[in-house]
Amino acid sequence: MNFLDKFDATIRGVFPLIHIYSSEYDRVLYDIVNYFFNKTSFGFTVGIYNSAKGVKAISDGSILNSYQGEYIPGTVDIEGALRILLEKSETVFIFRNLDLYLQDYFRKPKLIDLLYTIYEVGISSRIFVINISSYPVAPELKNYFIAIDYPLPDETEIKKIIKEFLEPYENIKVDRKTLNMAINLCKGMSKAEIEGALSISLVTKKKIDLDILREEKARIVKKTGLLEWIEEVPPIDDIGGLDNLKDWFRKIAYAFKNPSKANKYGLKVPKGCLLTGIPGTGKTLSAKAIASLFEVPLFRLDVARLYGSLVGETERNVREALSLIDAMSPCVVIVDEVEKAISGIHSSSYSDSGVTSRLVGSLLYYLQEKKSHSFFVCTSNDISLLPPEFLRKGRFDEIWYVGLPNEIEREYIWKIHLKKTGRDWKDYNLNLFVSQSEGFTGAEIEAVIQETLYHCFYEDREPTDEDFLHYISKTTPLSTLEKDKIRRLEEWAKTSQIKRANLVVPARKPEKIKATKKILN
């Protein structure tokens, strides 16, 4: 059910107090006014509140005429406007950010009582208060307002916005491919933001420039402070090992990229996975690579950024972030170290008035019930810190344990990172590197290579086998530093019968280090 269908049902059902969640006041207002002026059978009087002039009773529903009408005397003050509304019937007053006037609701008993009265008599009088705001309703009134989400423009609306914007520019032609790419880039943007990005593109390039739209999209996403757009994503082959996980990624990628076909086949569109295990083993890299495999944008959701200092701000941020994700679908969303983000859930009822508990509840409900074409990848270094409800079936398509790389995987990791530095792994004794780096994570192997190169770059020479072996020997891996913790993780992975991302392979005999001249201290 789209917004107008929900709104129509709300009006016909006569819910006197309506709260519309949106930061796009003008776009919502346009739809509401059009709704009432097109429903000639209703015969409602529509008024728009202005804090400086009062309520304007609209006589012309056209936005081109700036909603012509006369201001009603005595309505500049909100309480006065609501009193006059109570004297009328079949009347709608539209407010912007009425909730801001209710933040200190305990100091404004008259305003609260007026809204209660409208709620009580509104059904018989058919009077409505409609509030458009991106903030939640005051706690005192949340049970009396019915809330409706107003989504950001979808593909059809974005296409219409772009075409209407380009109408005055007859000399600018856009081919179908460019238009489709522009539509995808504009997902998650408001109508004003889309028009602003198009304006910058036309002024600077005299055309629809996709690079400029991409820059504006990144700026707009960053401006929200809720999501981060990660533009550079590695190919799936950049992951060293984890063959079981990569095979699963490839299978679900086909379903994700063909949702209609999958649905007809009886499959649900993939919703996400949880990757848990030892730090530095490639969980975050895997999350990034899946976006490359799915051929969709990747966004990072930092749960810590959702917390706000004001009452209701956290709930608003959660709603805005999830709405943004829905609007930008299809996409992949990564939530790194999720256990840290929700660490306060057990004490939330007395430590933060239940804010963390409600935040986690909203996220869990979204993961369970979401209808958007988004794929969530949550990573965790310590799954024992996650609440049981986070792990139950239905939240994720699969939970994977990412362990330490085995010999074959370490060999692959060495090859990948040496290649990234512009060097041929065949020039080195790779088998020796692999055997001597047993217990190392992929991140630790990369760090060894970088440390070796820094040293040799300083000495203005190419690295040798001895250089790499020296820095391997100087590195104490996490598997040694946190031996007991990793042992417990491995035991948990075995007893829980969780799927393992790594292939299980038989160990090879370690290769001995041949005597070499010591060149490093």
What is the secondary structure of 449-507 as a DSSP string?
HHHHHHHHHHTTS---HHHHHHHHHH---HHHHTHHHHHHHHHHHHHTTPEESSPP-PP
- pLDDT tens digits, residue range 445-465? 999 999 999 999 999 999 999
Q: Give CA–CA dist 58/66, Å, rounded.
A: 10
| Each residue's pLDDT tens digit, 182-221 | 998 999 899 999 999 999 999 998 899 998 998 888 888 8
Tell me the whole-structure pTM to 2 decimals: 0.74
The mean pLDDT of 403-422, rounded to a whole number, is 93
Residue in 516, 521, 500 with CA at minimum distance from that of residue 436 = 516
Q: Is the pLDDT of residue 346 over 80?
A: no
d(CA 1, CA 158): 19
Q: What pLDDT score was predicted for residue 99?
A: 79
CA distance 71 to 67: 12
pLDDT at 488: 87
Q: Does domain 236-402 have CATH number 3.40.50.300?
A: yes
Q: How far apart are CA 501 and CA 499, in angstroms?
A: 7
Using DSSP's 3-state secondary structure scheme, residue 259 falls into: helix
Residue 309 has pLDDT above 80, yes or no: no
- Structural domain spans, the chain: 3-149, 155-224, 236-402, 407-500
* 3-state secondary structure (DSSP) of residue 446: helix
Which helix (H) or strand (E) is 401 found in, with range? strand 398-402
pLDDT at 508: 53
Which range is least confidently modeled, 5-9, 41-45, 314-318, 487-491? 41-45
**Model confidence band, residue 513 (pLDDT cutoffs 50, 70, 90):** very low
pLDDT of residue 286: 92
Can you give the pLDDT at residue 273?
A: 93
**Tell me, what's the pLDDT at 519?**
39
Proportion of the chain above pLDDT 90, given as a percent: 50
**What's the CA gap between 348 and 335, in Å, rounded?**
21
Determine the pLDDT at residue 521: 43
Return the pLDDT at 62.
Answer: 61
- Peptide bond before residue 259 is cis, with ω within 30 degrees of 0: no
Alpha-carbon distance 62 to 1, whole Å? Answer: 26
How confident is the model at residue 375, as a pLDDT? 94
Q: How far is CA 85 from the centre of its chain?
A: 40
Q: Tokens at residue 435, please?
A: 């055997």
Whole-angstrom distance, CA of residue 314 vs CA of residue 182: 32
Task: Give the chain's mean pLDDT.
Answer: 86
pLDDT of residue 379 exceeding 80: yes
Between 109-118, 132-141, 316-325, 500-509, the lowest mean confidence (pLDDT) is in: 500-509
Q: Which pLDDT value is given to residue 393?
A: 76
- Number of residues assigned to the chain: 521
The pLDDT score that the predictor gives to residue 41 is 60
| pLDDT for position 350 | 46
Which carries the bigger pLDDT value, residue 77 or residue 108? 77
> Regarding the domain delimited by 407-500, which CATH topology (the fold level of the hierarchy) does it fall under?
Helicase, Ruva Protein; domain 3 (1.10.8)
Instruction: Give Cα 509 distance to the centre of its chain.
Output: 46
Distance between CA atoms of 489 and 130, rounded to whole angstroms? 53
Strand-pair category, 69-72 with 54-58: antiparallel
Give the span between the Cα atoms of 460 and 300, in whole angstroms: 39
Cα separation, 157 vs 107, whole angstroms: 42
- The residue ranges of DSSP E strands in 105-252, in sequence order, are 127-133, 146-149, 227-230
User: Which pLDDT score is estimated for 429?
Assistant: 95
The reply to whether 236-402 shares the fold of 3-149 is: yes
The pLDDT value given to residue 515: 38
Architecture of domain 3-149: 3-Layer(aba) Sandwich (3.40)
Question: pLDDT > 70: what percent of the chain?
Answer: 91
Dihedrals phi, psi of 287, to nearest 5 degrees: -60, -40
Over residues 88-131, the pLDDT tens digits come to 999 999 999 887 777 665 667 888 899 999 999 988 999 999 99
Mean pLDDT for 410-428 is 94
Residue 244 confidence (pLDDT): 93
Position 377 confidence tier, pLDDT thresholds 50, 70, 90:
very high
Give the pLDDT band (50/70/90) at residue 81: very high
What's the confidence (pLDDT) of residue 485? 87
Measured at the CA of 317, the angle between CA 313 and CA 322, to 5 degrees, comes to 155
pLDDT of residue 61: 59
Q: Each residue of 437-467: b (16+ CB within 10 Å) or e? A: bbebbbbbbbbbbebbbeeeeeeeeebbbeb
Q: Is the pLDDT of residue 349 over 50?
A: no
